[in-house]
């Protein structure tokens, strides 16, 4: 969905380096999410934010941190990358306000940690 | 806690034949069910969702899904498969007590010409 963009799209880094993945959206949604996708495991929630002042840990937050700089921007950081953080990372947004609202995903960032 | 199971890692079907991708769920309250599709090198795209009402839900690209409460299932279907339907399909659930989606492990659909 072009309304949700992620940068970079691909990144190769080394163990111990700090990495930031960025997500921007023009959908005007309040809620934003970070997921990682590993083969055979589906998507796992890392962090989510229901508004600029609300940040929550997901299922697998260890080793990650986030920053919600504005309604439209939500960044994911790996303070000291390790090889098992090699994965495909997705940002998503949703309007919120209902249990039935739909999440919309960015194109993903493929991260490789050597 | 809510959970979703997609029992098939891969489904193979010939073009023109009907397809079914299976999903079963477990929730403590009313289920809110979703199907997403992921094409190569793309993010997940929303296909359809079940909230309440008719058990047969129609979505994008000719897909539909049948909600069956007694079998706790939400299978994705299409009457006539296209080669372009080949992709990875994810079922997801959110129940009334949680704000997050829980995804299944995905099913790869391969439609052969």
Whether B96 sits inside 8 A of A99 (CB atoms) is: yes
The mean of the pLDDT values for chain B is 92
* Low pLDDT (below 70) residues in chain A: 1-2, 99-100
Q: What is the pLDDT of residue B54?
A: 87
Q: Classify residue A79 by its DSSP letter.
A: S
Q: What is the pLDDT of residue B94?
A: 83
Choose the mutation target among B34, B39, B101 for the interface with A, i.e. most A CBs under 10 Å. B101
Cα separation, B25 vs B46, in Å, equals 18
Instruction: Give the list of residues 6+ apart from residue B70 with CB closer than 8 angstroms, or none.
Output: none
Whether B100 sits inside 8 A of A105 (CB atoms) is: no
Structure token pair of residue B9: 């890692």
Instruction: Give the list of residues 6+ apart from residue A73 with CB closer than 8 angstroms, or none.
Output: A22, A23, A24
Mean pLDDT of B23-41: 90
Q: What is the pLDDT of residue B40?
A: 85
Closest residue in A to B34 (Cα) is A102
Q: What is the pLDDT of residue B2?
A: 82
pLDDT per position as a tens digit, B11-30: 999 999 999 999 999 988 88
Structure token pair of residue A1: 């969905």
Assess whether pLDDT exceeds 80 at residue B86.
yes
Chain B residue numbers with beta carbons less than 8 Å from the beta carbon of A41 are 105
Closest residue in B to A107 (Cα) is B43
Q: Which residues of A30-56 are buried (b: 16+ CB within 10 A; e: fewer)?
A: bbbbbbbbeeeebbbbbbbbbeeeebe
In the block, tokens 């806690």 appear at: B1
How crowded is the C-beta side of A67, counted as CA atoms within 13 Å?
9
Q: Classify residue A103 by its DSSP letter.
A: P
Q: What is the pLDDT of residue A110?
A: 95
Whether B46 sits inside 8 A of A104 (CB atoms) is: yes
Judge contact between B58 and B32, C-beta under 8 A: no
Cα separation, A5 vs A2, in Å, equals 6
Q: Does B40 touch chain A (CB under 8 A)?
A: no
Of B49, B90, B100, the CB nearest to A102: B49
Whether B103 sits inside 8 A of A107 (CB atoms) is: no
**What proportion of chain B, given as a percentage, has pLDDT over 70?**
96
Count Cβ atoms within 10 A of the Cβ of residue A20 and give its class: 0-12 exposed, 13-18 middle, 19 or more buried: middle
- Which bin fits B47, alpha (ψ -120 to 50), beta or left (φ > 0)? alpha
Phi and psi torsions of B62, nearest 5° = 85, 5
Minimal CA–CA distance to B104: which of B88, B92, B86?
B92
Q: What is the pLDDT of residue B24?
A: 97
Confidence of residue B99 (pLDDT cuts 50, 70, 90): low
Judge contact between A24 and A32, C-beta under 8 A: no
Assess whether pLDDT exceeds 80 at residue B36.
yes
Q: Classify residue B101 by its DSSP letter.
A: -
Chain B residue numbers with beta carbons less than 8 Å from the beta carbon of A108 are 41-43
Minimal CA–CA distance to B109: which of B84, B92, B75?
B84
- Give the residue numbers in A contacting B (CB under 8 Å), as ranges: 1, 4, 33, 40-45, 48, 50, 58, 90, 92, 99-100, 102-108
């Amino acid at each position: 969905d072009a309304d949700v963009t992620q940068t970079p799209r691909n990144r190769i880094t080394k163990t111990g380096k700090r990495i930031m993945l960025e997500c921007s959206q023009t959908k005007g949604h309040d809620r934003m999410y970070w997921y990682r996708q590993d083969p055979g495991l589906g998507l796992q929630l890392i962090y989510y934010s229901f508004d600029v002042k609300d940040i929550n840990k997901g299922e697998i937050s260890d080793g990650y941190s986030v920053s919600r700089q504005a309604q439209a921007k939500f960044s994911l950081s790996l303070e000291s990358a390790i090889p098992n953080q090699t994965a495909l990372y997705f940002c998503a947004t949703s309007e919120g306000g209902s249990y039935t609202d739909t999440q919309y995903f960015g194109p993903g960032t493929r991260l490789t940690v050597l | 806690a809510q959970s979703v199971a997609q029992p098939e890692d891969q489904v193979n079907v010939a073009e023109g034949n009907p397809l079914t991708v299976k999903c079963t769920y477990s929730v403590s309250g009313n289920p809110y069910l979703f199907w997403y599709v992921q094409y190569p090198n793309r993010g997940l795209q929303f296909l359809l969702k079940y909230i309440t009402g008719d058990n047969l839900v129609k979505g994008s690209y000719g897909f539909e899904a049948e909600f069956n409460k007694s079998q706790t299932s939400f299978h994705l279907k299409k009457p006539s498969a296209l080669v372009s339907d080949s992709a990875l399909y994810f079922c997801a659930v959110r129940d009334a007590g949680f704000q997050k989606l829980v995804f299944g492990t995905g099913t790869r659909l391969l439609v052969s010409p």
